[in-house]
Amino acid sequence: MASQEEATRQWAVLVVEDEILIRSAVAEFLRIAGYKVIEAADAAEAVAIFASRTPIDLVFSDVNMPGPMDGVGLVRWIADHHPRIHVILTSAISHARRAGESGAGFLMKPYRLAEAARRIASLLNDPPREDA
């Protein structure tokens, strides 16, 4: 059961998505839901945010993004460097298998924002992940 401190703490979600309209819609919805939301346009920006030691509790990332690292690569990087952080990948059905094999949670596009919020809440209210 979550402690009172955990119940009142504002969780920080990193939304990684190259399409600005999708990213903005997800971020705004999650802010209204009470999360602290940080936005990244690609995996490189996500890595830079982690390097800056900005507190992150969960990453919500698209799979297909421009640049040398896609969402699956980001999952691997996070597993290596921040194994306690939950990750949910999103993609269209064409990338679903790769996303599923990554070990991260998965939400197929198109998704309802309420479902994304429910999945995020579910993971954050679970016991913390064990270190790898």
Q: Which is nearer to other proteins, 4 or 52 (CB)?
A: 52
Kindly tell me which residue out of 54, 94, 122, 125 binds other proteins, with binding defined by CB under 8 A: 54
Q: Which is nearer to other proteins, 54 or 122 (CB)?
A: 54
The 8-class DSSP code of residue 1 comes to -
Give the C-alpha separation, 111 to 115, whole Å.
7
Hey, is 36 helix, strand or coil? Answer: strand
Of the candidates 51, 127, 130, 119, the one whose C-alpha atom is nearest the C-alpha of residue 89 is 119
51 binds other proteins (CB under 8 A): yes
Q: Which is nearer to other proteins, 77 or 108 (CB)?
A: 77
Q: Helices in 1-132 by DSSP H: which ranges?
A: 4-8, 20-32, 43-51, 71-81, 96-101, 113-124
- Cis ω on the peptide bond leading into residue 127 (within 30° of 0)? no
Q: Which is nearer to other proteins, 81 or 84 (CB)?
A: 81
Site for other proteins in 11-50 (CB under 8 A): 20-21, 23-24, 27-28, 38-41, 45, 47-50
**Least distance (Å) between residue 76 CB and other proteins:** 10
> What residue ranges bind other proteins (CB under 8 A)?
20-21, 23-24, 27-28, 38-41, 45, 47-54, 77, 81
